Amino acid sequence: MKRSSLMRTLDIVVVLALPVLLLVGIHSARATEPRAPEATAAPDEQKLARGKYLVTVAGCNDCHTPWNMGPKGPEPDMSRMLSGHPQSAQLPPAPHLPEGP
């Protein structure tokens, strides 16, 4: 059985187009892969100062920074600033209050 010239032409097109399609597919797959973060620019000093101001005036450290007993009483542990309280921290028992009205 003889193949028509159209079939031979289609075979040639497929054989030539297949590597091109594979390369395009590989390239597009690589483009969607997560990339390593690029070198970050220096932080914007004005934004850092604004963030520090907001954390300070909102009292975020009051609840979100662990406290230690210092020489003058409880004080925030700034080495763990805004880290929250450790899950393993044991709280003292609740005080016994007299009967209320």
State pTM to two decimals. 0.40
* pLDDT > 80? residue 55: yes
Lowest average pLDDT, out of 10-14, 39-43, 48-52, goes to: 39-43
| Distance (Å, whole) CA 28 – CA 59 | 48
Query: What is the DSSP track for 67-99?
Result: EEEETTEEEE-GGGTT----TTPPPPPPPPPPP
Q: What is the mean pLDDT of residues 53-60?
A: 89
Higher pLDDT, 29 or 89: 89
Query: What is the DSSP track for 1-57?
Result: -PPPHHHHHHHHHHHHHHHHHHHHHHHHHHHHSPPPPPPPPPP-HHHHHHHHHHHHH
Which pair of structure tokens corresponds to residue 70?
A: 């210092």
